[in-house]
Every structure is written in structure tokens, then in C-alpha cells.
Amino acid sequence: MAKDMTQGSLVKVLVKFSLPLLLSGLLQQLYNWSDAFMVGNVEGELSLAAIGSTIPISNLIIMMITGFSLGISILSGHLYGSGEHSELKKVLSSFTVVLSGVFLFVVVGGIIFMKPLLQLLQTPEDIFSIANSYLWIILLGMPFLVVYNVYSTVLRGMGDSKTSFLAIVVSSVINVLLDILFVVILHYGVIGAAVSTLIAQVLMAVFMVCYSTKKYPIMRFRIEKHCLDGSILRRGLSLSLPTAMQSSVHSVGNLLLQNLMNGFGTQTVAAITTAYRVDGVIMLPIINLGYGISTVVAQNTGAGNHQRAKRGVFVGMGIIAAVAIILTAAVIPTGGALVSLFGVTDESAAIGRTFFNIIAPFYLVFGIAIAIRSFLEGVGDVLFTSIASIVALGIRIILTYTLAAPYGNSIIALAEGLSWGALLLMCFMRFVWKHRKSASKG
């Protein structure tokens, strides 16, 4: 149910809100884990590398969707905190219609230019056709992902993180069962894994719409000319466009990094893309606590309770720091073994082990950066956080390309860790500046 985050213990509020998000994230990762695990162990490392090589392209669209979603969540939090609950229906209807149309167009373009994109990324010839077939099917599910994300982020702004968790549970179970059927039993390989994910995403969107509209009458609307609200769209886009642009630039940057990674050969592609699957799960507690911080800050900013909003970031930072230290201690001795679970060779597992030995010590830096950035996003300072993230990405790309020769594939992890340090520095300086500015006004 919706949760007023302007009252009560901040520790309890953050943990109770973030836990369903964490579980949702774990189950979402299960999509990719299920595909990769079963394909890697049944079809082999070549098919696993093919799936991994498509990640930057599919992530380009997914990151655009989540970028827009962040702005919608912040707007929803402000409206809910200020008591303007009736406006939430306008947020939902306006952005569901507009974003569904926009991303349907994006998906069609992605399908048309798929082969040139894969060629641009220097996708190895031995996995090109498999990657093309997998990606074509995956892109068909993106419009349904838009619908799910819009509903989910409006609910998140209201303090409800449980409904999206239920939708993910349903789709994850379906995805795993279909993977077993199509990949393990019927041996449809990569195509079977893609179809499983597509069906699961469709059913996830259907469940989210049906369940949330039954639970919250305010979530019901009809598609008609009055369902678009110009004022709400302007307010939402002022928050969503910077984050969507940042997400898009980040994804394009990943395409450049994937291009470099592909140059190291199929074995490195399999190892690093699999390591990132594992890393994606490991980072979920930090990322979702960040969502909790931004929602707490957004609701309290909307309610005019600025002191509680500031306390929220410090409480959240303490929790994230403790989690980051635990994750670092856990992943360094186990990273290589986790990568090997996906059916890669011993050489690829060794590459994965090196990746985690380098990246894990930076988790604390990443966690503190996320906490401060989430505060800035919660108060609506999304233009700065978007620019800072783009600058950090630029630093990562420059370091990766210029130091690839002396460091080899190890530079992939090292450059990312150093870029987190740059992001932390920029966000910390902005936070201090805003604090001094508000203090001088007070």
C-alpha cells in the first residue's frame, strides 16, 4: 500500500521501502541469469557470448526507459508529499500514452538498424547470427516494459514498492519455467531464451496494470484525448529528460566500451559480460537503497520538510556504507566461482576473478556516491546529477581506451572504479554547495 515517508523512523522507512525493491531487482536479474545460465550450460560458451554481446543495444533502450522513469518517480513523490494525490492519475495517463508511443517507434528503429549496430560493435563473426536472432525478439518486449515501468514508478513515488515486487514474482517464475521448457527440454537454444523473456515481460505488464488498478482507483484511466495533461507533461519532462538523456549517453558509452571489449576476443566477452551479470546482482542493495533515499527526499521536499530530507541522506549513507563493506568482503573470494557457474571455461573464469578483485574495493566509493546523488535527485537537481554522470562516464571511456594497451582487459574494471570516484567528488561538492546556499538563506 501507499506509504507516507514524511513521518516515522528513517531507518525503518528506508529498509521497509527498499527491501521489496531489492527483491524485485534480484528477480529481474533472474531473467538474465536464467537465460545465461541455461544457455551457457546447455548450448555452450559461444551462445553465452552471443547473448552477452547484445546487452549494450538492449540496455540502450532499457536505460532510456528507466531514465524517464526516475523523473516520473520524483514528480510523483513531490505530488504525494504535498498532498496533491489527484494529480498522480494525470502523471500515469500522460506518460503511459506518450512513452509507449515513443518507445514503440524506438523499437522499430532498433529492429531496422540491428545488423549495422552489431557490425559497428565489431560483434565476432562466430556469434553474429545468434546475437541478431536473440536481440530481434528481445526488442519486441520493450513497449510492455514501458507500461510496467510507468506504473511502477508512480507507485514508488507513492511509497508503494510491494506491487512491483509481486509483478516481478509472477514474471520471473514464468520466465524460468519457460526457459526450462524451451532451452533445456526442447533445445530451442538462444531463440527459446528470448521468447521466454518476451512472454514474461508481456505478462508482467498485464499483471501490473490489472493489480494496481484494482488496488488503487486513482490508477484507472481511459485512453482518450483528455488523458494527456500538458502541465503535468512539462513538469515531468523537466525532471525526466535530463535523466533519460544521461541514461542514453551512458548506454552509448557502453556501446563504445563493448566495442573495445569485443576486440579482446570471444573469451573476454563471455567472461566480462557474465561478470557484469553477477556484479549487477551484487550492486542491487546499494542501488535500491538509493531509490529509497530519493523517494524519502522527494516526499519530504514536497511536504516542505527539508531537514528530514537531509537527515534521510545521512541515514541512508550509513546503511549503504555498511552494505558496501560486506559486499566487498564477500565477493573478492567468490567472484571467479560465481562466473564459472555459467558454464564458461577456466580461462574465462580467471578473467572474471580478476575483474572482481579490481572492482570490489570500489563498492564503498560507489555506495556513498549513490547516496549523495539520490539526495540531489530527490530534491529535483536532476540536471546536475545527469551532467555529473555523463562526465564520469567520459572519464571511464577515456581511461579504458588510453590504458587498454598496458593493462589489457583489466582496465575495464579499473576505469569503472575510478569513474565512481569522480562521480563521488562531483556530487559531494554539489551537496556542500547546496547546503551552504540553504544555510545562508536561513
The identity of residue 109, as a single letter, is G
Cell of 252: 552509448
83 backbone dihedrals φ, ψ, rounded to 5°: 85, 10
Place of cell 525532471: 239
pLDDT tens over the chain, length 442 residues = 566 677 888 888 888 888 888 888 777 776 666 677 777 777 777 787 788 778 778 877 887 888 888 788 888 888 888 888 778 888 888 888 888 888 888 888 888 888 888 887 778 888 888 888 888 898 999 889 888 988 998 888 888 888 888 888 888 889 889 988 998 888 888 888 889 989 999 999 999 989 888 888 888 777 666 677 788 888 888 888 888 888 778 777 777 777 777 777 777 777 777 888 788 888 888 988 998 899 888 888 888 888 888 898 999 999 999 999 999 999 999 888 888 877 777 788 888 888 899 999 999 999 999 999 999 998 889 899 999 999 999 999 999 889 888 888 888 889 999 999 999 999 999 999 988 877 666 5
Asked if 156 contacts 2 with a C-beta cutoff of 8 angstroms, the reply is no
Where do the H-state alpha helices sit in 82-140? 87-112, 114-120, 125-140
The H or E element spanning position 164 is: helix 162-179
Question: Domain spans of the chain?
Answer: 10-441
Residue 24 CA, distance from chain mean position: 12
Instruction: Please give the DSSP secondary-structure letter assigned to residue 205.
Output: H
Calpha distance 243→383 (Å, rounded): 7
Calpha distance 420→367 (Å, rounded): 9
